[in-house]
Amino acid sequence: MRGGSASVFPSGASLLSYRATPWWRKKYWEIIADKLKKRGWSLGYVSAIDSNGRTIWIADAHRDDGKRFVVRADDQPR
């Protein structure tokens, strides 16, 4: 099982290279993650194998006030 906590950067990416990326070259999930983090949300993600042997991806955004948003996908966000 792979996962991350409070990090929205792909493996190998650094904060410096991420911030230097123009907005039009960012992937859609990076833009969404930026907007959520600016509004006080914490982000995490995990991949797992379902009962049929397929890899699924689960993303979770939550706040200190108890609000939470969870997404499940059959493909890795790009």
Give domain limits for the chain: 2-73
pLDDT at 13: 47
pLDDT at 8: 47
Helix, strand, coil percent content, the chain, rounded in steps of 5: 25, 35, 40
* Interval 4-34: pLDDT, tens: 444 444 444 444 455 556 656 677 777 888 8
* Interval 36-57: pLDDT, tens: 888 888 888 888 888 988 888 8
Segment 54-71 shows an average pLDDT of 84
Separation CA 13–CA 42 (nearest Å): 19
* AA identity, residue 6: A
pLDDT at 74: 73
pLDDT at 57: 83
pLDDT at 20: 58
Give the side-chain half-sphere CA count within 13 A for 13.
13
Size of the chain, expressed as the number of residues it contains: 78
